[in-house]
Homo-oligomer: A and B are copies of this chain.
Amino acid sequence: MAKAKTPRRTSYHHGNLRDALIDAAIQLVEEGGPDNVSVREAAKRAGVSPGAPFRHFQSKTALLTAVAELAMSRLTEAVADALSEVDSADPIVAFEAIGQGYLEWAIANPTHFQVISSRTLIDFDGSDSLRGQNEAIRRKMIDLLTQAQQQGKLAANADFDHLVLAARAFVYGLARMVVDGHFSQWHPSEPPSLALRKALHLFISRMTNLSEAKS
């Protein structure tokens, strides 16, 4: 899938430098995290001079933003896959599946997750793609909660905004704790990923059942 690493090139022009740079940047991200990416190294791997990338990306941030857009697409796919594998009609099960899919993707692709959730490495707000895909997931969550409520599986006065906020914060927090290395020494005998799944299920079942929280 990836282009040949050898930067052999016969013509003066590269032909597809933009994509080659993104590929190289992804490779660098996978090798050593976002901090491992340098424009020069990406240029070198594309077999091109250090200044060339700036014809295609205004800044390092722009290059990493392009990487983030690809990564975000993969995350969206992962979430969609997780949803499509749910064989229950229960919207709350689907809701949990989103969290599962998100979490599993983040753990399987920690460096990419770091890229898309950073706001210093990339220009999130400046990318319609990033904002759009993020918002799409959020809207899907609200849809599912709405369905759940219509099916009488959620308190009639449930506050969707707070519920979705809580769910997002929870899953995001779990993912970041993993990615940020907060589980580097993990004493409970249980493997981390299992603990995460259980914690997620605990969270979902507690937060969404009909019993009402006292204000």
Q: A interface vs B, CB < 8 Å? A: 33, 35, 117-120, 124-125, 159, 161-163, 165-166, 168-174, 176-177, 180-182, 184-185, 188, 190, 195-196, 198-199, 201-203, 205-207, 209, 211, 213-214
In the bound complex, how far is the Cα of B181 from the Cα of A117, in angstroms?
Answer: 9
* Number of copies of this chain that the complex holds: 2
Least CB separation from A198: chain B residue: B162
The one of B166, B184, B185, B198 in contact with A170, judged by C-beta atoms closer than 8 angstroms, is B166
Do B117 and A180 touch across chains, with their CB atoms under 8 A apart?
Answer: yes
Do A205 and B214 touch across chains, with their CB atoms under 8 A apart?
Answer: yes
Do A199 and B35 touch across chains, with their CB atoms under 8 A apart?
Answer: no
In the complex, what's the smallest C-beta–C-beta distance from A191 to chain B, in angstroms? 13
In the complex, what's the smallest C-beta–C-beta distance from A45 to chain B, in angstroms? 22
In the bound complex, how far is the Cα of B206 from the Cα of A16, in angstroms?
Answer: 54
